[in-house]
Amino acid sequence: MQRFLLICSVLLSGLFFAQNRLNLIPYPQKVELLKGEFTIPGKFKLDQNLSRLETEYFKKQIRDVFTFGIGKKETAHLVNVPFSAPSKRNPENEEKYAIEISPRQIIISSNTKQGYFLALQTLIQLFRQYKDSGKIPAMKIEDEPKFAWRGMHLDVSRHFFTVEEVKQYIDYLAIYKLNTFHWHLTDDQGWRIEIKKYPKLTQIGSKRKESMIGAYVDNTFDGKPYGPYFYTQDQIRDVVKYAQDRHITVVPEIEMPGHALAALSAYPELACTKGPFEPATKWGVFDDVFCPKEETFTFLENVLNEVMQLFPSQYIHIGGDECPKTRWKECARCQELIKKYNLKDEHGLQSYFIQRIEKYVNSKGRKIIGWDEILEGGLAPNAAVMSWTGIKGGVEAAKSGHFAVMTPGAYCYFDHYQGDPATEPNAFGGFTPLDKVYSYQPVPEELNVTQSKYILGVQANLWTEYILDFKQVQYMIFPRMLALSEVAWGTSDAKNYKEFERRVINEFETLDKMSVHYARSIYNINGKVMAADNGIAYELSTSQSPSGVRYTVNGADPSAASPAYTNPIPVQKSMTIKSAYFENRQLKSAISSQDFTVSKTTGKKITLEQQPNENYSFGGAFTLVDGIIGNQRQLGKTWLGFQGKDVVATIDFGQLTPFSEVYFNTLDNKGSWIHFAKSAHVFVSDNGTDFRMIKEIGKDEILVAKGKIRLQLGNQKAKYLKIKIENAGIIPPGNPGADSQAWLFVDEIGVN
């Protein structure tokens, strides 16, 4: 073990430091404030025995605090003091460190350079925090991360980012003590890594003729050629070395067997059909995938040979997600393989494919990790799972003795909206604000102590279908990455979210100095619909002083003279509520606007027989009677999404209620596996038990209405209303995601 000793002469001061939590992110496991302060010196003299790379990084990061070199007697000295090391190093403690700050010195203790580097990150934050006062409170910090895998993902296939931008991304990980960079290098829309044995991968696969723009449902394109964009092998080595210097592991992803159009465009002989193919210009999932024939395995093994030479990571990510089976079902070779190896079906063939690849990767001393679809048909013996569709994949993996990284879309997909979609840039969908990320606990409750040890950690993913440049990358990851870092470190606590929010706002000064274009959604007004005696009420909240919130109910923009918000606003008729935060009579936030369409179901008690997918479950069943009609171009917080499930909702009016019309909306977005409902049935009851059907419509009527359904029922009177909206079921051939369960999206169920 080594101790890195920072010794300096200091002046004692009587300044009292309140026992508020320090502005550190992620917060350490243990902080004990002591008496006295350490005076920040003006100049440091560095001992030559210090770990060079880490110390040079330290110097660069805090050069705005003080200078380095040979100083006078009041100069601080950073020296390496030997400390007796244990005979056998414990791998679990490689990132453990301690800092002791007294009025006379600062001592860093760690087993490894990695621990030393993490300690320096904490010191850098402390120096910046107390730079103006010139004094740091005396304290003891004992710290180590809870999870070994603390990751961030970046998709460079849909949109490409330069080497310098990728390095900036890695810098962000280092600052906030994340240690894994998942680099998504290949997909349908682009192949971004040079493979010398197969030059056409980048000659053909690294460019596309145009790109989809705007919302997916618009189906519009920019008409501009994109690419060729890719990283040379020298550039890859440069990035990997850059990350290693910051104690970050780069995990490459080479997609297979699906998401392969860019590769098949270059080498069509690897498909089940003859092609021709071209890199995808749309987002989504496509039927043409790698065919599991010998030529394909030879190709992929050769590709992986070059990949493993470039990336020293223990794990190689092989994708494995969203692989339609349409081509395999129609392929004579695939059907012969199923018979030859006595496989159950095409899902078994996918397992065969993954296991072939795993054996090869294992033979090179490496391991594979893949998205949770690699569980289909049986998991390869040594594979790890990245659980993205929810927590089920991670639970299944851990219970069977396989390692898992938790990255569920509901909490860890940073391509989702983080604020009101009306005030945010176009995003993929979903609603994942800062507080939701912070609330995530990576170890599922279903696991016992032994099984929990198989949860390697947590990761957030940034897919870039709608992210055009690096400024938008920054916008989507900050400040949510700060919440992820604390979740990954194991010191997050949803009950203390407001205290974390305070630290985030303080950290904005550092992000400003780094010229980071971060989201300011935290300043905006958050609205929440709640049930009230006479229907619903709209509750407003903000990270700032609530006394600064102003609102209107007539659709006009609020001003400093508008009514001050004090209590939830009653919503008893259709209206538009606008709100904003003012400070010293100056507008300090975006203006939030919410339209309400009140009907006889608004605010009424509602139950669902089946719950929505956690990725699209904001507000639960109440979302369907909250008076808010969803925007068909934005899959934000106003929609509920169900995969493979029908929507069966029962609404209790509370008394016999006359009505003549029921309305609801459903969506069609086949590229994302979202299909219009197959049918809809309306039932009524006076006792909540015995229901009779009064209306049904089929798919043709839903198609004609383009998902905006209004059902005329004649004169009705009932206490209970039940509506069954039928999922489209299994996606038919010829559609993205064929043979998979369709998604059904539904918003407000209204009654007039």
Cis before 26? omega within 30: yes
Residue 466 CA to residue 364 CA, distance in Å, equals: 37
For residue 188, give the nearest of 737, 752, 748 by alpha carbon: 737
> Which residues does residue 33 pair with via DSSP β-bridges, in sequence order?
139
Q: Which residue has the tokens 């496509």?
A: 286
> Which residues does residue 2 pair with via DSSP β-bridges, in sequence order?
82, 110
Residue 469 gets the label, from left (phi > 0), alpha (psi -120 to 50) or beta, of beta
Judge contact between 316 and 252, C-beta under 8 A: yes
Residue 131 CA to residue 133 CA, distance in Å, equals: 6
Residue 233 CA to residue 244 CA, distance in Å, equals: 16
Catalytic residues, by residue number, are 187, 259, 322
Judge contact between 163 and 169, C-beta under 8 A: no
Phi, psi (rounded to 5 degrees) for 255 = -70, 135
For residue 634, give the nearest of 467, 420, 472, 410 by alpha carbon: 420
Torsion of Cα atoms, 522 then 474 then 168 then 143, to 10°: 30
Q: Which residue has the tokens 């002083």?
A: 545
Judge contact between 468 and 443, C-beta under 8 A: no
Query: From the DSSP assignment, how many helices (H) and strands (E) are in the chain?
Result: 18, 37
Residue 208 CA to residue 262 CA, distance in Å, equals: 9
Residue 324 CA to residue 258 CA, distance in Å, equals: 7
Residue 664 gets the label, from left (phi > 0), alpha (psi -120 to 50) or beta, of beta
Sign of CA dihedral 335, 339, 345, 351: negative
Q: DSSP readout, 276-337?
A: -----SS-S--S-----SHHHHHHHHHHHHHHHHH---SEEEEE--S---HHHHH-HHHHHH
